[in-house]
């Protein structure tokens, strides 16, 4: 291992990835904070390495890794970036509303950084916990743009059939190789990251299986209402439905996901109930029964509840199987129409 790279002196090893070694270094000419030096292992990947440097240098965002130096003409090309003392995003088993809120705040920040990259024509393609770093002050940083896609680059540095990203976090449309790159691929990966942040163990479900009993974040227990251990995590399931979807068209973009994380954080803190056609809701009146959708805009059914629907109105009516409580919604009359699958 070389001990010096230009003005950078190696202090120790930080880690090794498939394409590069990472070292902790100091500036010989200007003593101060330490930095991280990423050295390319395979010279055949130089074009992609160059793209990473160019991509990150065009991004000026407080939550995206900063590159301070590079030498791509060296025998062993390298780049130097800020060193995040907190390391990778750690896994934590969360159980309280405050812990949920903290996680959503972190996730909102990550989505904001990814949205900024998208606005500048860059798709990350490898969003996962290992590529989210923590600074000494606790702020999060989106790192490792090594396989990013620049939509105006003109040249693609990927071999046909080569799988991009990390299995478990990669969108299904890119798992089998190169296809037209979409920002929605990052949305899918963000969904897997969100699931990982709220899971009881550091794992993610295969493909879109997060709703199945085995993978449901809420957990199952006969000792809890409706057999659901953590009903409040239905709010997270609702978010996941906007990300972990096989069809990219059904996924929200990163900017919208940042807003959704903020909204969900406030909703969880207020103890409100997640809602939507595809959401399993617990009765807010008795707390024991589940709300069943008995009227989905059928005029006859609506009239059976003593309501005369007017032209253009949309009605959804739920009843509780335990106490008979009734919940009525007019999605067409609300501001959050898209949460019901309606156009704004």
Please tell me the distance from the alpha carbon of residue 178 to that of residue 158, in angstroms, as a whole number. Answer: 7
DSSP 3-state assignment of 11? strand
Please tell me the distance from the alpha carbon of residue 173 to that of residue 291, in angstroms, as a whole number. Answer: 36
- Match 């809701």 to its residue by tokens: 281
Instruction: Please name the helix (run of DSSP H) or strand (run of DSSP E) that holds residue 132, with its range, or none.
Output: strand 132-134
Beta strands in 167-261 (DSSP E): none
Choosing from 69, 102, 126, 278, which is the catalytic residue? 126
Please tell me the distance from the alpha carbon of residue 231 to that of residue 59, in angstroms, as a whole number. Answer: 39
Kindly list the distances between the CA atom of residue 24 and the CA atoms of 33, 40, 138, in Å, as whole numbers in the listed order: 11, 15, 19
Residue 60 annotated in active site: no
Q: Please name which of 295, 275, 287 lies closest in space to residue 320, comparing C-alpha atoms.
A: 287
Phi, psi of 264 (to 5 degrees): -65, -35
Please tell me the distance from the alpha carbon of residue 227 to that of residue 222, in angstroms, as a whole number. Answer: 5
Please report the DSSP string for 286-309 in residue order.
TSSSEEEEEEES-HHHHHTTT--P
- Match 């991280």 to its residue by tokens: 36
DSSP conformational letter for 152: T
The residue count for the chain: 344
Which two tokens mark 120?
């500048």
Instruction: Judge whether 113 and 148 are in contact, CB under 8 Å.
Output: no
Cα torsion 159, 19, 3, 136: sign: positive
Give catalytic residue positions: 126
């Amino acid at each position: 291992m070389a001990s010096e790279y230009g003005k950078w002196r190696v202090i120790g090893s930080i880690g090794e990835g498939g394409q590069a070694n990472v070292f902790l270094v100091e500036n010989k000419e200007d003593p101060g904070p330490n930095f991280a030096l990423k050295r390319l292992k395979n010279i055949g990947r130089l074009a992609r390495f160059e793209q990473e440097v160019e991509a990150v240098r065009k991004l000026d965002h407080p939550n995206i890794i900063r590159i301070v130096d590079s030498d791509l003409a060296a025998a062993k090309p390298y780049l130097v970036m800020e060193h995040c003392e907190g390391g990778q995003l750690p896994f934590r088993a969360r159980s309280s509303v405050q812990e949920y809120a903290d996680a959503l705040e972190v996730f909102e920040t990550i989505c904001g950084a990814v949205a900024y990259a998208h606005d500048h024509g860059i798709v990350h393609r490898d969003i996962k916990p290992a590529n989210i770093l923590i600074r000494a002050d606790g702020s999060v940083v989106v790192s490792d743009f090594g396989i990013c896609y620049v939509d105006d680059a003109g040249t693609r540095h990927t071999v046909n059939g080569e799988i991009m990203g990390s299995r478990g976090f990669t969108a299904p449309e890119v798992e089998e190789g190169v296809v037209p790159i979409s920002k929605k691929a990052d949305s899918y990966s963000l969904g897997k990251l969100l699931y990982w942040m709220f899971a009881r163990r550091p794992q993610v479900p295969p493909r879109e299986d997060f709703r199945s009993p085995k993978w449901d974040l809420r957990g199952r227990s006969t000792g809890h209402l409706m057999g659901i251990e953590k009903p409040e995590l239905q709010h997270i399931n609702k978010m996941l439905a906007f990300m972990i979807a096989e069809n990219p068209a059904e996924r929200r973009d990163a900017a919208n996901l940042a807003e959704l994380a903020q909204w969900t954080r406030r909703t969880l803190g207020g103890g409100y109930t997640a809602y939507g056609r595809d959401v399993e809701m617990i009765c807010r009146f008795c707390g024991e029964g589940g709300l069943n959708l008995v009227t989905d805009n059928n005029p006859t059914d609506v009239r059976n509840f003593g309501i005369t629907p007017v032209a253009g109105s949309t009605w959804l009516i739920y009843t509780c199987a335990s106490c008979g409580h009734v919940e009525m919604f007019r999605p067409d009359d609300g501001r959050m129409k898209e949460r019901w699958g309606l156009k704004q």
